[in-house]
Amino acid sequence: MAGLPLKALPGVGPRTAERLASLGLAEVWQVQEQSVSELEKLIGAEAKLLKRRAHGHGGRVLRARQETKSISRETTLDRDTANPELLERILLRLSAHVASQLRRERLAARTVTLKLRHGDFVTITRSQTIPAATDLDADLVSAGRALLDTAFKEVRKRGRGVRLIGISATNLTEAPMPDLFEAPERTRLRQLTSAVDQVRERFGFDAAKSGSMVREAGKRKRGEAGKKRHP
């Protein structure tokens, strides 16, 4: 649903859609990620109703005929950068947006693709297929970081900065039910993710950061690595 245009929502006719587009709101995900108070500043008293309908409450949604093939986010920087720490911070935020949309649409991804574009418009892409389909921020970030490490070697080789960075999730499937026998750390990560989603739905996307989820996953992986070194 997040990938649909706002005109697919009940009560959003051509004129309303045009008005919303003039305010920078064209797709359902853009409304989903804003708090009611933020929307009220833009459209007034209609904000609560639009927010509810963007989350599938009240009325029948006009479904798009085509299935979602990919979910992606990218951003263009004000100036070229060759700072890997800055690119990683941006990647973290973009990955959180992609994972959040996957969960809203009840989808999971098997393939993650990173895109870097230089100021001279040369584009570098790297992809990774992960073992199991996922909709978790930490999994996308883990794959994205590995891809960034590889792609950044080309950045250094070319001696040019990055102007655009993006990440996409493809090879999509319906989100699987959690494994009844999954590791406790994985269950805690899902619970934390669910709590963050609830905060974001109520107060807007920026009300909750996904860094804690990524750190939790990092601790889990470091613990697993330690077990391998000390059987």
Split at pLDDT 50, 70, 90, the class of 72 is: very high
Residues 62, 6: Cα–Cα separation, whole Å: 10
Mean pLDDT of 88-102: 94
Average pLDDT, the chain: 81
Tell me how far apart the alpha carbons of residues 48 and 43 are, in angstroms, rounded to a whole number: 10
Token code pair at residue 181: 């026998």
Q: Quick one: what percent of the chain has pLDDT higher than 90? A: 38
pLDDT at 1 (0 to 100): 60
- Beta-carbon contacts of 142 under 8 Å, excluding residues fewer than 6 positions away, are 217, 221
Sign of CA dihedral 86, 70, 103, 197: positive
Token pair in block for residue 54: 């963007």
pLDDT at 179: 63
For the domain made up of 71-229, the CATH class stated in words is alpha beta
- The residue among 77 and 47 whose pLDDT is bigger is 77
Give tens-digit pLDDT for 111-159: 999 999 998 899 999 999 998 899 999 999 999 999 999 999 988 898 8
Question: To which residue do tokens 């109520």 refer?
Answer: 202
Q: In terms of pLDDT, which residue wins out, 181 or 101?
A: 101
Rounded mean pLDDT, 4-20 = 77
Cα–Cα distance between 174 and 207 in angstroms, integer? 27
Topology of the domain covering 6-54: DNA polymerase; domain 1 (1.10.150)
Chain CA centroid to CA 187, Å: 20
Task: Specify the DSSP class assigned to residue 58.
Answer: S
* C-alpha distances in Å from residue 228, one per residue of 73, 185, 222, 223: 35, 17, 10, 9
Confidence of residue 49 (pLDDT cuts 50, 70, 90): confident
CA–CA dist 136, 140 (Å, integer): 7
- Band of pLDDT at residue 228, cut at 50, 70 and 90: very low
- What residue segments make up the domains of the chain, in order of their start? 6-54, 71-229
The rounded distance, in Å, linking the Cα atoms of 213 and 196 is 9
